[in-house]
Amino acid sequence: MSLKIIGTGRALPKKQITNDDLSKFIDTSDKWITERTGIKSRFICTNESLTDLSETASKVAIKKSGLNKKDIDLILCATIIGDYSTPSLACCISERLSIDVPAFDINAACSGFIYALDVADAYLQTGKAKNILIVSAEMLSKQIDWNDRSTCVLFGDGAGACVVTKGTTLKYINLTAKGEVAPLYSKTGTGNSPFAENPEEQGFLYMNGQDVFKFAVGSIEKGAKRAFEVTGLSAKDIDYFLIHQANKRILEHARLKLKQPESKFPANIHKYGNMSAVTIPVLLDEMLEEGKIKVGDKLLLTAFGAGLTTGTCIIEWE
C-alpha cells in the first residue's frame, strides 16, 4: 500500500431541511423519521451546483494539505452523476480549479469514496501520479421522488474531498461488487429516441429497504472479518469504525455484530442524512477538525451501495 491522506475538506448547501419541514408537504413526522433512521435533518441544494460544492471542498482540502493546486496531477471524483451526464464532474472541478490534469468519475454509489482510494493507491504505486485530489460529491435531491416518504426523508446533498500522496498509512483495502440491480437503482430512461421499442421516462431512485438493510449489515461484518484475517488485527485494535452513514439502525446492528463500544462508531447521520459517497469523507473531515483522530489511530472505513458494491479499508493515521 502506498497512500496517505494529507488534507481533507467538506462543503454543504446553505439550506438545511428538518424533519418538521418535510412533514409540511408529505405524510410523515419527526418522530417517524428519527425512530426509523436516526436522521433529524439534511442539507439540500437550492441554487448551488454540485460543481460549486466540489470546488469549495477541494480548495479546503488542498489548503490543509499544504500543497498548491498546481501540485495536483490527478483528479478522481466519486459520484453517481454530476451536473452533466458528460463531461464528468471531475472535469468540471478541473475547470474550476484551473488544473489541466487527467480527471475522471467513479460510480460505485455509496462505496465510491473507498473505490476512489483504491484507484488512487494504484496510481501512486505505479508512479503515474504523485498528488491526487479525491472528491466525493452527490446531489441526491434531484434523483429522489419528493412524494415518496420512504425515500425522500433519507438523503442529503454535499461534497467531501481529500488530497492523497505516497505513504504507508493504508494498511488494507478491498472492494467487491455483487452484481445485483434490483434492490437499489435509478433508471436513466430512453429520452426521445424514435427507435426505442419500450420507451421509458427518467426514473426516480428506487430502494427496497429491507433488502438493502440485510445486505448492508452483512457486508459490514464480512468486510471487517476479512480485513482482520488479512492484517492480523481484531476489532479491539480499531480506534474508530467510520461506516457509511445510511441508517442509524444499520450502524447499531454493525456495532453489536462487532461487539465494540458505541464510542468507536462516530455518526453524523442525524445532521446530514445519507449523502451516498460523501458520508465517510465528511465524517473524517469533521473528526479531524475536532481533534478526535490522533497519530497512530487505526481507522476502519467501510461502505456499501447500489450495485451491490462494498469497500473496506484500514488506515493507520499519520
Task: Please name each of the domains of the chain with its CATH number.
Answer: 4-167 (3.40.47.10), 172-316 (3.40.47.10)
At a CB cut-off of 8 Å and minimum separation 6, what does 124 contact?
A: 2, 3, 130, 132, 164, 165, 166
Instruction: For residues 257-281, give the mean pLDDT.
Output: 97
Task: Judge residue 294's burial from the number of C-beta atoms within 10 Å of its C-beta, 0-12 exposed, 13-18 middle, 19 or more buried.
Answer: exposed
Q: Give this prediction's pTM.
A: 0.96
Helix (H) or strand (E) holding 221: helix 209-231
Instruction: For residues 175-201, give the mean pLDDT.
Output: 92
Q: Is the pLDDT of residue 224 over 80?
A: yes
Q: Are 137 and 80 in contact (CB under 8 A)?
A: no
Instruction: For residues 297-315, give the mean pLDDT.
Output: 97
What is the identity of the amino acid at 72? I
Q: Cell numbers of 222, please?
A: 464480512
List 45, 110, 152, 313, catalytic entry? 110
Q: What is the mean pLDDT of the chain?
A: 96
Residue 201 confidence (pLDDT)? 87
20-75 confidence digits (pLDDT tens): 999 999 999 999 999 999 999 999 999 999 999 999 999 999 999 999 999 999 99
Instruction: For residues 80-108, give the mean pLDDT.
Output: 97
Q: Cell numbers of 156, please?
A: 442529503
Q: Is the pLDDT of residue 165 over 90?
A: yes
Q: Would you place residue 87 in the very low, low, confident or very high pLDDT band (cuts 50, 70, 90)?
A: very high
To the query of whether residue 110 is one of the catalytic residues in this protein, the response is yes
Q: Cell numbers of 106, please?
A: 467513479
Q: Is the pLDDT of residue 150 over 70?
A: yes
Q: Are 311 and 174 in contact (CB under 8 A)?
A: yes
In the chain, what percentage of residues exceed pLDDT 90? Answer: 95
What is the identity of the amino acid at 5? I
Place of cell 475522471: 104
To the query of whether residue 253 is one of the catalytic residues in this protein, the response is no
Instruction: For residues 208-221, give the mean pLDDT.
Output: 94
Place of cell 454493525: 254
Q: End-to-end CA distance of the chain, in Å?
A: 14
To the query of whether residue 152 is one of the catalytic residues in this protein, the response is no
Nearest to 281 by CA among 104, 134, 72: 134
Instruction: For residues 169-198, give the mean pLDDT.
Output: 93
Q: Would you place residue 116 in the very low, low, confident or very high pLDDT band (cuts 50, 70, 90)?
A: very high
Q: Cell numbers of 240, please?
A: 474508530
List 91, 92, 162, 244, catalytic entry? 244
Q: Would you place residue 2 in the very low, low, confident or very high pLDDT band (cuts 50, 70, 90)?
A: confident
Give me the phi and psi of 282, to 5 degrees please: -70, -45
Nearest to 281 by CA among 173, 197, 164, 141: 164
What is the DSSP code string of 165-187? ES-S-EEEEEEEEEEE-TTEE--
Residue 202 confidence (pLDDT)? 86
Q: Cell numbers of 13, please?
A: 448547501
235-249 confidence digits (pLDDT tens): 999 999 999 999 999
In the chain, what percentage of residues exceed pLDDT 70? Answer: 100
Nearest to 187 by CA among 196, 177, 178, 195: 196
Q: Is the pLDDT of residue 1 over 90?
A: no
Residue 61 confidence (pLDDT)? 98
Helix (H) or strand (E) holding 105: strand 103-106
CA angle 19, 21, 26 (to 5 degrees): 85
Question: Cα–Cα distance between 72 and 80 in angstroms, integer?
Answer: 23
Q: How many residues are given for the chain?
A: 318
Instruction: For residues 172-182, give the mean pLDDT.
Output: 96
CA distances from 243 to 57, 64, 293, 311 (A): 21, 24, 15, 10
